[in-house]
C-alpha cells in the first residue's frame, strides 16, 4: 500500500506554453495484491489486482487532471521456459491486463514474448556461442502522445497502434581472448509493415545492425 503526494509538476508549472498554479491535488492512494506460483522456476503464473484512488494524469490537452473515485487494474502473466537437447532453449511469456477505466490510462490488453536460442561450447570448448532470436507482440491500443513543452506523456484517442511483431536476432561468441556480439533489431521492418510506433508520432528504431568486439591484449 502506498500514499503519494502529487509531484510538484502537477500542482505548479510555468513555461512559455503551459502555466498552472496551486492545483491542490489530493494524494494518490495505491493498494496492490500479487499472487504467484511456479513449478521448478520453469512454468509459472502470476495474478495481480491494483486499486488506485485519486489517479493523476495529463488529459488530451496535456493539462494535469485528477480522476475522482477509484480505478481498478488487474492482470495475469503466464510463462514457461525449457531447455531441450541440452543446448536449445525455449521461452514464452504472455501478459493480460485490463482497467476498469480504460479511457484514463493507456495500456495494451495483451503482450506476448517468445525467445528461442542456442548456447554451448564448440570446438573442444574453444568457442563459447550464444545465438537466437526474440519476438514481442503488443495488442492494439491508443498509445500516449508526447508533449515536448513539458517533456511529459498525455492521453490521446486519435492514433491507435498496430500489432507489429518486434523481432531481434543476436549472436554472442567468445574465442579467448576475443569476444564479439552482433544484433539485428527490428528485423521485420517493411516485411511486417511500417507502423511500428508505440508513442503517437514517434516510431521505434528502424532496422539496424549493432556489433562490437572486445580483444584483451597482454604484454
For residue 182, what are the domain limits? 2-215
Q: Do the beta carbons of residue 63 and residue 78 sit within 8 Å?
A: no
Q: Computed from CA positions of residues 118, 119, 125, 127, in that sequence, does the dihedral angle turn out positive or negative? A: positive
For residue 36 the three cell numbers come to 504467484
Q: pLDDT tens digit string along 56-92?
A: 999 999 999 999 999 999 999 999 999 988 899 999 9
Average pLDDT over every residue of 18-27: 94
Q: Do the beta carbons of residue 218 and residue 200 sit within 8 Å?
A: no
Any idea what the CATH number is for the domain that residue 162 is in? 2.40.170.20
Taking the C-alpha atoms of residue 64 and residue 58, their distance in angstroms, rounded to an integer, is 4
Count structural domains, the chain. Answer: 1
For residue 18, name the pLDDT band (cuts at 50, 70, 90): very high
Q: pLDDT tens digit string along 173-216?
A: 998 889 999 999 999 988 887 788 888 888 888 899 999 999 88
For residue 125, name the pLDDT band (cuts at 50, 70, 90): confident
Amino acid at each position: 500500500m502506498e500514499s503519494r503526494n502529487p509531484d510538484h509538476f502537477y500542482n505548479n508549472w510555468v513555461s512559455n506554453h503551459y502555466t498552472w498554479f496551486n492545483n491542490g491535488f489530493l494524494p494518490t492512494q495505491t493498494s496492490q495484491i500479487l499472487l504467484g506460483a511456479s513449478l521448478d522456476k520453469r512454468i509459472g503464473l502470476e495474478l495481480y489486482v491494483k486499486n488506485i484512488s485519486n489517479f493523476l494524469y495529463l488529459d488530451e490537452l496535456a493539462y494535469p487532471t485528477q480522476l475522482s473515485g477509484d480505478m481498478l487494474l488487474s492482470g495475469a502473466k503466464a510463462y514457461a521456459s525449457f531447455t531441450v537437447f541440452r543446448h536449445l532453449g525455449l521461452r514464452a511469456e504472455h501478459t493480460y491486463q485490463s482497467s476498469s477505466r480504460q479511457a484514463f490510462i493507456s495500456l495494451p490488453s495483451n503482450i506476448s514474448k517468445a525467445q528461442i536460442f542456442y548456447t554451448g561450447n564448440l570446438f573442444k570448448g574453444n568457442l563459447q556461442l550464444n545465438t537466437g532470436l526474440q519476438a514481442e507482440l503488443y495488442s492494439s491500443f491508443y498509445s500516449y502522445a508526447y508533449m515536448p513543452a513539458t517533456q511529459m506523456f498525455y492521453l490521446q484517442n486519435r492514433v491507435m497502434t498496430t500489432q507489429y511483431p518486434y523481432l531481434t536476432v543476436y549472436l554472442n561468441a567468445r574465442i579467448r581472448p576475443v569476444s564479439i556480439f552482433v544484433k539485428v533489431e527490428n528485423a521485420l521492418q517493411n516485411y511486417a509493415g511500417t507502423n511500428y510506433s508505440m508513442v503517437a508520432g514517434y516510431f521505434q528504431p528502424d532496422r539496424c545492425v549493432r556489433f562490437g568486439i572486445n580483444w584483451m591484449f597482454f604484454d
